Amino acid sequence: MKTTKLIRSALGAAVLAIFALVGCEKMDTYSIEAPTDLQSEIDSIAAAKASANTGDTTYIDITTAIVGAEDYSSAWWTAFSDYFTIPPNERLVLEFVNHNGGSENSWNNWNLAVANVADRDAEDYAEYFVLRSDAFGWGNDDFDLGLVSHNYPDTDGDEDIWNDFRATMDGAYVTLEIDHSVTGNAFVTATAVGTNGTELVMTYQQPVPATEDIVAFLVSDASYFEMQEAYLIPSQISVVEDVEPVSIDIEATPEFVEIGSEDFWGDAIANVTYADGSSEQVDTADISFNVIPDMTTLGEKTVIVSYNKTKQGEFTDAISTYYNLEVINAVASLEVTTIPDVTTYTFPGSAAPIFDPTGMVVTATYSDGTTGVITNKNLHFEIPGADGEQDAVVSYVGASSTVTTTVPITNVMGGTNQVGATDLSSGFWTAFSNDYNVASGSTKKFKMDLYSTEANTWNAPIVILRKADLTEYAVVRMDNFGWGDGYSSATATNDWNFDVFAENLDDSYIEVTVTNVGDGTANVRYDVTYTNGDTHFQLYEGITVDGSDLNCAITIDGCYVDITSVE
């Protein structure tokens, strides 16, 4: 067994017990001479590991020795390592030298993808998660950014850890461990030792299949890695430490229930937070109701809810919370007293669009003659799948009957002026505008209104630059992020305040300008006006394209846009 193998493996083993994680920003690079005792420190760690790791190591041949272009030109999701299969109860260790070229972006380092199969083009390919070295990532429904943890220090004392992070990562020796535990979790520990002697440690954990192989591979992003070693050793985690619940939060409880109904829970959900900081939605069947309200009399009622299981499902001391609701008289009739903000729907195909009740006020008349506003979340809506002027149906489902009214709307079928579902449910790369050709030397301008969940900065329109055959040059978001072969040459500038960026997205007015410069490049500019009147811009210049074959389109993620004109 090589000494260097033992050295590099030792760095990961020393920190395997850490299982939590967090996020990252940007930074300035600097260089520093390595301390004269760095090699002796590494040798001592290797010696310690040599005695602890014998006999159960399976080395894996590495085909792709350099991942990413050494001139840092490989854009995101264009350069990949070999696929490494990790059977259950095995731990994959990857050792490599990371290079970022002094980039000012924290994400221009290593990225780890963990998926179900060793083929990104397979029909059933799916990622469990993608983890960036700067403590950021994304994944399936189990992904939890709150479980990312790191020890990144402020080495130079300027209250900015990320300039130190970038400098340390350039030329750092990285030991990346992915432990496929039989507990049904993947535990990731990344240890980077910089040429400046600084050791950076990041950890993450997430559920994965306990009895099926998982696959890991590295992805470069304007970075490259020199692969050194890849090997499998036995998993170190056979039992996950159990933790106690510390709080319970109830969402979507009914505001009121019609007298005669006994359903005081409705579509509510309960989320439990545990002592390790993680949280999850728990099964309603595991909820106990300590105080059950009297549903046979009118008035405000209190429901006390409790939960008494650990994270691993063992019974323990209960935690509790409460919510209030009102038992009301039966609803006799409904009236739309304020028309909704959106009354015209443009949609492709034959399926009806989803009704948007934003701004609408519905007043109910009760069986005793009194009136009151019913919030939209307690109503149901239906738009007929037809063209032209018509009525959308608004209904309230009571204890003994359903009461309805209507609101006039216009459907315009076959168009793509609205991109994304009105209920904001459309995910990334699921809804698109028409493609528009941009001739050399010309400009295409989109004017649109944005309706966003405001959950993330990317819940906004996204511009695609591509050929007529849909081959992409680049994709650029409104929040200073993009990818694609053409994007690697681009310069991005903006005047955003990212502290309040997401919370101001909804109901913004946006103009997107795509310019075919005529010299083999294109520019994309976002001009945004918030509802409070503030204006901001995002500009991408110098995107590499074929000026004789440039088309553009708008897509979305967690939002929808109403394109009012294309000029």
**What is the per-residue pLDDT for 39?**
53
Does residue 54 register a pLDDT over 50?
no
Tens of pLDDT, residue by residue over 272-300, are 999 988 888 898 899 999 888 999 999 99
- On whether both 545 and 426 belong to a single domain, the answer is yes
- On whether both 88 and 105 belong to a single domain, the answer is yes
Q: Is 146 left (phi over 0), alpha (psi -120 to 50) or beta?
A: alpha
**What is the per-residue pLDDT for 412?**
64
Q: What SS3 state is found at 248?
A: strand
Q: Say which amino acid occupies 312.
A: Q
Of the three residues 214, 234, 254, the one that is the final residue of a domain is: 234
We report the CATH number of the domain holding residue 79 as: 2.60.120
**What is the per-residue pLDDT for 17?**
35
We report the CATH number of the domain holding residue 307 as: 2.60.40
Does residue 500 register a pLDDT over 50?
yes
**What is the per-residue pLDDT for 26?**
35
Tens of pLDDT, residue by residue over 327-360, are 999 999 999 999 998 887 766 544 567 788 889 9
Q: Are 406 and 393 in contact (CB under 8 A)?
A: yes
> Domain of 369?
331-413
More confident residue, 43 or 339: 339
Q: Are 251 and 280 in contact (CB under 8 A)?
A: no
- On whether both 75 and 150 belong to a single domain, the answer is yes
Of the three residues 413, 445, 470, the one that is the final residue of a domain is: 413
The pairing of strands 256-258 and 315-328 is parallel
Residue 502 lies in a domain: yes
CA distance readout (Å), 159 to 155, 163, 193: 9, 10, 21
Q: Enumerate residues 6+ apart whose C-beta is below 8 A from 521.
A: 489, 541, 542, 543, 544, 545, 547
Of the three residues 203, 234, 265, the one that is the final residue of a domain is: 234
- On whether both 132 and 109 belong to a single domain, the answer is yes
Confidence class for position 25, pLDDT limits 50, 70, 90? very low
Residue 346 lies in a domain: yes
**What is the per-residue pLDDT for 10?**
37
**What is the per-residue pLDDT for 458?**
94
Residue 314 lies in a domain: yes
| Burial state string for 412-438 with b = 16 or more CB within 10 A and e = fewer than 16 | ebeebbbbbbbebebeeeebbbeeeeb
- On whether both 99 and 157 belong to a single domain, the answer is yes
- On whether both 259 and 400 belong to a single domain, the answer is no
More confident residue, 378 or 95: 95
- On whether both 406 and 424 belong to a single domain, the answer is no
**What is the per-residue pLDDT for 49?**
45
- On whether both 154 and 284 belong to a single domain, the answer is no
The Cα 122–Cα 34 span in angstroms is: 45
**What is the per-residue pLDDT for 487?**
93
The Cα 3–Cα 22 span in angstroms is: 33
Give me the helices (H) in 202-293, please. Answer: none
Q: Are 218 and 77 in contact (CB under 8 A)?
A: no
- On whether both 321 and 209 belong to a single domain, the answer is no
Give the mean model confidence (pLDDT) for residues 398-427. 82
State the DSSP H helix or E strand holding residue 4, giving kind and residue range, or none if neither. helix 3-13
Tens of pLDDT, residue by residue over 155-178, are 888 888 999 999 999 999 999 999
Number of domains comprising the chain: 4
Question: Among 24, 22, 274, which residue's Cα sits nearest to residue 148?
Answer: 22
- On whether both 88 and 206 belong to a single domain, the answer is yes
- On whether both 167 and 254 belong to a single domain, the answer is no
Task: Output the average pLDDT for the chain.
Answer: 86
The Cα 222–Cα 79 span in angstroms is: 9
Does residue 422 register a pLDDT over 90?
no
- Quote the radius of gyration of the chain (alpha carbons, Å): 28
Residue 240 lies in a domain: no
In this prediction the pTM is 0.46
Does residue 321 register a pLDDT over 70?
yes
Confidence class for position 48, pLDDT limits 50, 70, 90? very low
- On whether both 523 and 395 belong to a single domain, the answer is no
Give the mean model confidence (pLDDT) for residues 11-21. 36
Percent of the chain exceeding pLDDT 70 equals 87
Does residue 253 register a pLDDT over 50?
yes
Interhelix angle 38-50/3-13, rounded to 10 degrees, is 90
